[in-house]
Amino acid sequence: MNLESEFSTKAERDRYLVKKALEGNQQAYSGLVSSYRDSLFFMLKKMVHNVDDAEDLTIESFGKAFNLLDSYTGKFAFSTWLFKIATNLGIDFLRKQKNHTLLSIDEGSDDDILPSQYILSESHDPEEEMIWQQKGEQLNDFINRLHPDYQVIIKLKYYQGFSYIEIAEKLDIPLGTVKARLYRSKELLLSTLKDKDL
């Protein structure tokens, strides 16, 4: 089975489960939860950096999705629709954190390169490894201070490896907006790292 047909089969299965769930079939609900619970949880954990909060948001995401299930049109894959709901809940959660510093960023151009040397390092001696680990922790700290709208895009792209198109679909925003926000986020991070002499 090729990748395209596998995705098509999965999408058809999800549509069938949605249809049965709308008819009140509890096993269909369980099937949808089983399919996406783990991936949804790990995405949310990456966003909020807390296992308990991620678990709560995972439950809330399924609850909201099932409450809105009759509004699901099937235009996009069920997984895309579900992850959009979860991502929006994650962003709302981060916005409500009183101790969360927000840095606003303007829209920009289409370049999107985040310096990989600040995320991944080659093999160094123990002292260098400690320095690189500290730099990575500082970079994560800077990323976590970004406005949630921008923070989530960086994490989806660089931490979870989603493509631009996948991010645009998950967040339901134009592809150009994804690239622009990544570019502006990179510019802010580079400026901050330069100021900190990292």
Instruction: State the Cα angle at 62 between 60 and 66, rounded to 5°.
Output: 115
Residue 75 has pLDDT above 90, yes or no: no
Asked if the structure places residue 107 within a domain, the reply is no
The mean pLDDT value for 16-43 works out to: 90
Of the candidate ranges 55-69, 77-91, 122-136, 168-182, the one whose mean pLDDT is the lowest: 122-136
CATH number at residue 142: 1.10.10.10
pLDDT digits (tens, 9 = 90+) for 130-185: 554 555 666 677 777 778 887 888 888 777 777 888 888 888 888 888 888 888 88
pTM of the model: 0.52
Are residues 85 and 16 part of one domain? yes
Rounded to whole angstroms, the Cα distance separating 132 from 112 reads 23
Asked if the structure places residue 109 within a domain, the reply is no
| Residue range(s) defining the domain that contains residue 140 | 116-195
Are residues 125 and 76 part of one domain? no
Give me the number of domains the chain comprises: 2
Are residues 189 and 123 part of one domain? yes
Are residues 120 and 91 part of one domain? no
Asked if the structure places residue 38 within a domain, the reply is yes
CATH number at residue 63: 1.10.1740.10
Are residues 9 and 92 part of one domain? yes
Final residue belonging to a domain, choices 62, 96, 130:
96
Are residues 83 and 120 part of one domain? no
Are residues 124 and 83 part of one domain? no
Final residue belonging to a domain, choices 96, 128, 143:
96
Asked if the structure places residue 48 within a domain, the reply is yes
Are residues 122 and 86 part of one domain? no
Contact 189, 139 (CB under 8 A): yes
Final residue belonging to a domain, choices 96, 126, 159:
96
Asked if the structure places residue 9 within a domain, the reply is yes
Are residues 122 and 89 part of one domain? no
